[in-house]
Structure 1
Amino acid sequence: MTVLKDILYKVTINAVVGSTGIPVHKIEFDSRQVETNDVFVAISGTLTDGHQYIDKAIKSGATAIVCEALPETLENGIAYIEVGNSHQALAYMAANFYEHPSENLKLVGVTGTNGKTTISSLLYQLFKKAGYKVGLLSTVKIMVDDQEFKATHTTPDSLTINKYLSLMNDAGVEFCFMEVSSHGIHQKRTEGLKFEGGIFTNLSHDHLDYHDTFAEYRDVKKTFFDQLPSEAFALTNSDDKNGLVMLQNTQAKKYTYALKNYADYRAQILENEFGGLLLKVNDSELWTRLIGSFNAYNILAIYGTAELLGLEKEEILRLISELENVSGRFQYFISEGRITAIVDYAHTPDALKNVLETINNIRTKNETLITVVGCGGDRDKTKRPKMAHIASALSTKVILTSDNPRSEVPETIIEDMEKGVQAQNFNKTLAITDRKQAIKTACQMAGEKDIILIAGKGHETYQEIKGERFDFDDYKIVQTYLKQLEK
């Protein structure tokens, strides 16, 4: 039996009303999920405040309430715990409730603007190929060794994290690789977890709809490294101007990787083509199916992490050469009509620039490069003109379209994007609101040896419009249209 006082260990408590010796069935922060003898944690979210649902939680059977402000009316027989930060309290309570599952495996967190999914997913692949039981917490999916679960957030809530880490303990998982988003760090979802290491990829324009300034966004990322223990490792991209900032106050052992600067793990690109990359990593040559300089950085992060976790260098080199591309990350095919179609998750200016520069470095310039790109609704509006500017400057033709418009009018989003298109690029830029029609038009415009890039949604298999999700898979759609047109 779990007792309330046992799961409050390390929680900063301001006041207690009632008994903490009562039994607890489970922890909930969604009042709709509360059952008899549950403890309800009232969290202030971006859209709603859990404190408004305390009465509802009690009516549903909650016998304990954790909150940042006590209600004016206190119910008899209910335990009230007033805390300084409900997000942080939930994280520690979740870890306590599931008996600290992160301590029973080697957990590595990956943070940064771009590359989190690729690095964490490929590390999962690599350690599986090396014969280990492995876990993955990513944007694309959650893996408990061979068992797959659906992911809903880049970094899940702390209850979900600890639940899956507990399942990993039960399955005998030895290593787990986890994406750590700025939202997750800011909302304390990773507190109470024991990390074996942390990886920093890069920092560029994103999430300024959530963080007020770029400096705040950077500093939130930095707190993840500030909190790493001395026995952990911190591996950072020293080519990024914020890379060494991440290491300033960390107690963890410090390591770097880079293509340009001196680093512990350094690579030189020897060949870069659609077939893959030939790299020289420190003193060894390495072939990988991944493409582009941005993936050279990802490979370095993977190589360094694998070595820091105890794998032999020769084994790492062999395993990296066997790794397969992550869904929606520079995922491409060549059609029967010899048209190359690429689907990529690039939804930030920096990521889009990286993908387009990679394509331009590989192609001979005799081909037409057609880019289909949109921007998400209800998200950072300041990056919209930047995305269109980059797409129109680095492509032969551009189709501006919808991404996930959510509650916004798609045409308004496209108008915001169009403001970034320079005058000399107007004549090569189209606007087609319907994303499926935009992809179809790109296929109709393409000829032999031409290249189509569909950017922004990557692995997503839906489009979110006015609160509803509709089936939508960029990769399947472009495959279907090219097949139809080439019959």
Structure 2
Amino acid sequence: MTVRKKISSILPNTAKAMTGGTPDPEVTGLCCDSRRVEAGHAFFALPGVQSDGRRFIADALQRGAQAVVAEHPVDLPEGIAGFVVSNGREAMAHAAALFYDDPTAGLPVVGVTGTNGKTTVTYLLESILKAAGFRPAVLGTINYRLGDTCLPAPHTTPESTDLIKTLAQFRQEGADSLVMEVSSHALAQHRADGVHFTVGVFTNLTSEHLDYHGDMASYFASKKRLFHLLPEAEGHAVVNIDDPYGRQLAEEIEGTLTCGRREGAAVTPESVTLTLDGINGRIRTPAGTFELQSGLLGEFNLENLLCAVAAGIALDLPIEIIEKGIRQAPGVPGRLERIENSKGAVILVDYAHTGDALEKVLSTVCRLNPRRLLVVFGCGGDRDKSKRPAMAAVAIRHADLAIITTDNPRSEDPATIISEIETGCREAGGRSLSREELSGLDKGYFIEHDRRRAIDLAVSLLQPGDLLLVAGKGHEDYQIIGSERLHFDDREQVRRSLAEQEVSG
């Protein structure tokens, strides 16, 4: 995709040219990472949490940058254009949209934000839009995709330059609608400011990313930014009012389309049945009622389904199309994904990596009344440490056996992370079990640092009627240990353990 634009044509009118340099060069790309700069690019020297982008201007110029955009004046060599803007990230997002000819203009675009449920809601909306005859692009935690094109997703919501470039590519390839997860980091950093959202969906808010946001108030404020990017007309904000933060948001935004089981919700079940086979019920909406049939499991997925239905209503899609899309929606990778086995047990792999998410998943599978409930989980390093005792308490409360292991320790010592989880287990009344006690019906926890061996152990303990949940990584196919990103997929490992034990047994 070769593009050339005058730098002045894509910057805000308030941008001020620095003294000297070429007044208005053509640029061939936009970048805020000096290592990715190519000849002809404009480099956005952004302030960061750990470093200031102005430190990397020399590197960007050496790689061929023709223009520099910063929040404060800098000294530049002759022949290099410089511009000062009040907010570098906001300016970059809008510049990207103009540079790539505003790829989301005129499209139905749904942004989904919240702590949990974003990915599932986007998969459901993708199916609904396909049932309506659209060719939707989807950007989220698992991948960025359009039809047979599937790109890896290094971030839930990429940097604004990468985001808009990807959307321009998808539109060129025939995308006529867009569904995207919008993370709190992305909203706080203006990454999605160049997107024309039609509908915004709020799923829920629970403790997560507090290492970045600092407190729940700041976290909530970042989520609310999505709804400031919507058209001002009523009916574009879809909010789950089963969630207390959702109720607060619905009160703040006039004309919100509410959903949930709570009294007063506009999209709500008249009746519903939740079983191991899925969710069935009759759903009432402002556009009429319909029979819901879904293979998803649990009350939290009912909330996700209601969010997707409400978004379909907000897009003015016919109720029969929404019903068809929900019915035809595929399972979501790594979200209560079932692993078939010959042990007579139920094995599920799920992305739950917060206390709230694990609570929802474990309380859901508990209602299936398994003979014994086993869970394998860990906690990520360099992330919110408050999750560790919270997840431990949930596991001890619901599971018969919790096997504690590594997740993505990153730069932290895995033993330290596991020790903090174990403290949470003890505080919740959990008992450390010996290996000899594991095959019985003793209730407690066991520590196995190696995730591969932890899964092997859990699978080896399974008896008919048991249920095993491997939690925390879901669709991820890697483990980050130190600075290394190593291939590791819980689903692959479960299947490998099953196969090896079948041969040896």
Same fold (TM over 0.5): yes
Structure 1 counterpart of 2:421 = 417
Residue 438 of structure 1 aligns with an amino acid whose one-letter code is A
CA distance in 2, matches of 1:454, 1:104: 42
Q: Please give the alpha-carbon distance, in whole angstroms, between the structure 2 residues aligned to 1:5 and 1:83.
A: 12
Distance (Å, rounded) in 2 between the aligned partners of 1:243 and 1:183:
19
Aligned to 2:398: 394
Share of identical aligned residues, percent?
38
Q: 2:70 aligns with which of 62, 67, 71?
A: 67
Amino acid at match of 1:329: R
Partners of 1:88 and 1:188 within 8 A in 2: yes
Give the superposition deviation at 1:55. Answer: 1.0
Give the distance between the partners of 1:342 and 1:14, measured in 2 at CA: 56
Match for residue 48 of structure 1? 51
In structure 2, what residue type is equivalent to 1:373? F
CA-based RMSD of the aligned residues comes to 1.7
1:3 positional shift: 0.5
Corresponding residue SS for 2:463: coil
- Once the two structures are superposed, residues 198-217 of structure 1 have per-residue CA deviations (whole angstroms, 9 ceiling, x without a partner) of 00000001000101111110
Q: 1:473 deviation in Å?
A: 0.6
Measured in 2, the distance between the counterparts of 1:261 and 1:348 equals 28
3-state SS of paired residue (1:355) = helix
Output the amino acid matched with 1:461: D
TM-score, length-normalised on structure 2?
A: 0.92
- Secondary structure of the 1:438 match is helix
Match of 1:338 among 337, 344, 351: 344
Change (3 A) 1:467 1:358: same
Pairwise mapping of residues 183-198 of structure 1 onto structure 2 (< 5 A)? 183-198=185-200
Counterpart residue number, 2:502: 486
Do residues 379 (structure 1) and 383 (structure 2) align?
Answer: yes
Query: 8 Å contact 2:128–2:324 — kept in the other structure?
Result: no
CA displacement 1:348-398 (0-9 Å, x = unmatched): 1110000000001122x5x11000010000000111111011011110100
Read off the aligned partner of 1:40 and give its amino acid letter.
Answer: F
Q: Match of 2:216, as an amino acid?
A: F
Amino acid corresponding to residue 487 of structure 2 in structure 1: D
Partner of 1:9: 12
Assess if the C-alpha contact under 8 Å between 1:266 and 1:300 holds in 2.
yes
Unaligned runs of 5+ in 2: 433-443
1:303-334 deviation per Cα after TM superposition (whole angstroms, max 9, x unaligned): 11122223211222122112121100010134
Q: Is the 8 A contact 1:377 1:408 kept in 2?
A: yes
Work out whether 1:471 is the aligned partner of 2:487: yes
| TM-score, normalised via structure 1 length | 0.95
Q: What amino acid sits opposite 2:493 in the alignment?
A: I
Give the superposition deviation at 1:444: 1.4
The AA in structure 2 aligned to 1:343 is V
Work out the CA distance in 2 between the residues paired with 1:106 and 1:423: 47
Contact 2:73–2:84 at 8 Å: present in 1 too? yes
Measured in 2, the distance between the counterparts of 1:47 and 1:269 equals: 51
Structure 1 runs, 4 residues or longer, greater than 3 Å off: 247-251
The residue that corresponds to 2:448 in the other structure is: 432
Rounded to whole Å, the distance in 2 between the matches of 1:423 and 1:286 is 38
Structure 1 residues 320-359: aligned runs within 5 Å: 320-359=326-365
Relative to structure 2, which stretch is displaced further, 332-341 or 394-403?
332-341
Runs of 5+ consecutive residues of structure 1 not aligned to the other structure: none
Closer, same or farther: CA 269–2 of 1 in aligned 2, 3 Å: same
- The answer on whether the counterparts of 1:228 and 1:250 sit within 8 Å (CA) in structure 2 is no
CA contact 2:396–2:429 (8 Å) conserved in 1: no
Instruction: Give deviations 1:212-241, integer Å, cap 9, x for gaps.
Output: 111110111112213322147000001111
Q: Say whether residues 1:219 and 2:225 are aligned partners.
A: no
* Secondary structure, aligned partner of 1:418: helix
Per-residue deviation at 1:15?
A: 5.2
**Which deviations, in whole Å up to 9, do the C-alpha atoms of 1:438-483 show, x marking residues without a partner?**
1111111111111110000000000011111111110111122123
Matched residue pairs, number? 482
How far apart in 2 are the matches of 1:312 and 1:192? 29
In the other structure, the counterpart of 1:200 is 202
Indicate if the aligned counterparts of 2:349 and 2:490 stay in contact, CA closer than 8 A.
yes
